[in-house]
Chain A
């Protein structure tokens, strides 16, 4: 194979050397890698904070944190995980790196804007941390509900401003991706030849553009209220606190689709590659992504059944919530049907993808329990909710992130990791996950509220088990990261196509050269046509 100079050795713009070749780069691949390491930093920090919470809850009464610190820690855990990890994780890391490659172009449309988004992201993180050192981190939870967020003495303004800045970063990334997909696709690539990961990024970007400004203005209003006290959400001055919740969830519910859609895209890439079989229902997956983006924007008030709403509104929002379940289920059926009668080749990315399907299905189905107005009243704001959204967000997006890491790692760094350790870590994380969150479903049904520092003695067993599972999970996550990082010490050995993929990123070297392709990539008529791959592998087998 010819030797290709990777983008690691060719800074862009070429006048910058060393650290500046990263900090001032316009190369989407370098920006993606900068995102990767900054996002992993926040993720591991928030994982440890979450571990701290569960350690506190393992035994009734005070264990290691006092009540006030507990409130701050769960807020910090939520804010970091939501705004600094899950929302940007897959689009900013893998979207940045692979979206231009998958559509056969050399960069995103606005490279400078892309770098600006990274700086906004970093600024948001720094501002969030800064609020720790002045008046204490907010104790409001990541939702910043009024009136508490306006009256608490902790430093809500700074944390809210951090979320505002992070929202800008995410919005600009979305803007960049949409423009890139529209204007820079390979000339031969029509809309129905776009890989599914790029398709989901496209849907995600629209949600980012259309929903984020609502939360931006809402968060700005919280800051204005804290400094000027206009009283827009204060009932004693004529305002309405419920309106805050509406505005907040008008963004934050669509935001859960910002979180999950790219994850679904990753899984739609991985499943066909390791089944050596065309994806089942390409068009259905594309359509369901767009359907999720649209319908997902119309269900926000299902977070507010107990806040006070008319019965008609509750009925409508409950119905729409059930409607969103349909496109998600279509995807699950498509993935499972792709596996059916495929020639499955097991590898760590597929293992994570299979765990994803299982965990996400549980998360999705328990979501219906919460979406139904009747049962929601019973489990509202209990640990059931905590378990549900961790199943979707962590079991879903988190596992998709792990799968993407293992799937694209050889492409990004040119090195293959150790499979055995990857499997062990996957089993530890998944096993720990079940031990951790299944007891929470039961605790929630029994009535244990979320966000409480202490609990009644009858909840002790469940909490003890959950803490136990958390330990396994944390060990698994760190093992996974160590395994990946250790691979960086090896020489670059990964071939350009270690898995047998059909999308364009597998046509270029690992890691890719500066302008992504040395020769013009060949766009397949259908992006998941595996006949070539199957032929290649079967002739390899005969050759041995």
Chain B
């Protein structure tokens, strides 16, 4: 039972885990597909009420953060510890800004009386209730994943600082990066489904 230094095995495990995450969100996307087919016009109406500027900003923020993570993985391989740490810090900052944006978006909606079980949604068309119900569930679950991803990035950051993650042994950083890219990728699907719905 020697310590396994099989990096591709660890990555394989991570990829398998990412499949499960995709399918977790897949279940919700199935719900979206069914209700979109049923209430197409209500979904379009609901989409107009979301602030596209916020959506675009968040998309750009996440893309930048993904770049930062990718850069930090390349940096650690080239023994550039400082750049690697800078990449991770900026990715974490992006994640934080994303969450703050989300917070303002949600509280604005709640302020307008749009939240699950609210009178406005109960009395309005059923399709809009479904649209905003899914909006809260999917972006909420995605937010939870952002927090998990940030935790992983933070752990990697600490490990890089303590020289536990180096150019020889950077699987932890790479796996955290894979997770972060997945969270980013899921957002790339969420964004058009809610903000750009026709």
A306 to chain B, nearest CB (A): 20
Give A450 to B166 CA distance when docked, in angstroms. 61
Report yes or no: A214 in contact with B34, Cβ–Cβ below 8 A: no
CB contacts under 8 Å to B, within A8-40, are: 12, 26-27
CB contacts under 8 Å to B, within A189-243, are: 209-214, 216-218, 220-221, 224, 228-232, 237-240, 243
Q: What bracket does the count of chain A residues touching chain B fall in?
A: 35 or more
Residue of B nearest to A238 (CB): B126
From A171, A214, A515, name the one whose CB has the most chain B CB atoms within 10 angstroms: A214
Give A175 to B16 CA distance when docked, in angstroms. 6
Report yes or no: B1 in contact with A231, Cβ–Cβ below 8 A: no
Residue of B nearest to A12 (CB): B1
Report yes or no: A247 in contact with B126, Cβ–Cβ below 8 A: no
CB contacts under 8 Å to B, within A469-513, are: none
Interface 1/0 per residue, B13-46 and A, CB below 8 Å: 1001101110111111011001100110000000
Q: In the complex where A232-B130, A237-B122, A239-B130 touch, is A109 in contact with B13 (Cβ < 8 A)?
A: yes
Task: Report the stretch among B85-93, B131-139, B150-158 that lies at the interface.
Answer: B131-139
Say yes or no: is B129 at the interface (Cβ < 8 Å to chain A). yes
Contact of A230 among B24, B34, B136, B141 (CB under 8 A): B136
Q: In the complex where A232-B134, A243-B31 touch, is A217 in contact with B13 (Cβ < 8 A)?
A: no
Say yes or no: is B47 at the interface (Cβ < 8 Å to chain A). no
Q: In the complex where A229-B116, A232-B137 touch, is A238 in contact with B129 (Cβ < 8 A)?
A: yes
Report yes or no: B24 in contact with A213, Cβ–Cβ below 8 A: yes
Report yes or no: B137 in contact with A230, Cβ–Cβ below 8 A: yes
Report yes or no: A209 in contact with B20, Cβ–Cβ below 8 A: yes
B139 to chain A, nearest CB (A): 13
Give A387 to B17 CA distance when docked, in angstroms. 36
Q: In the complex where A12-B1, A213-B24, A240-B34 touch, is A179 in contact with B12 (Cβ < 8 A)?
A: yes
Q: What bracket does the count of chain B residues touching chain A fall in?
A: 35 or more
Report yes or no: A183 in contact with B6, Cβ–Cβ below 8 A: yes
B126 / chain A contacts, CB cutoff of 8 Å = 237-238
B117 / chain A contacts, CB cutoff of 8 Å = 228-231
Say yes or no: is A341 at the interface (Cβ < 8 Å to chain B). no
B19 / chain A contacts, CB cutoff of 8 Å = 209-210
Residue of B nearest to A224 (CB): B137
Say yes or no: is A542 at the interface (Cβ < 8 Å to chain B). no
Report yes or no: B1 in contact with A111, Cβ–Cβ below 8 A: yes
B95 / chain A contacts, CB cutoff of 8 Å = none
B113 / chain A contacts, CB cutoff of 8 Å = none
Q: In the complex where A107-B1, A109-B9, A216-B24 touch, is A231 in contact with B129 (Cβ < 8 A)?
A: yes
- With A178-B12, A250-B27 given, name 7 new contacts (CB 8 A): A210-B20, A210-B23, A213-B24, A217-B25, A229-B116, A237-B133, A238-B126
Pairs A-B, 6 closest by C-beta atoms: A238-B126, A183-B9, A230-B133, A217-B27, A213-B23, A213-B24
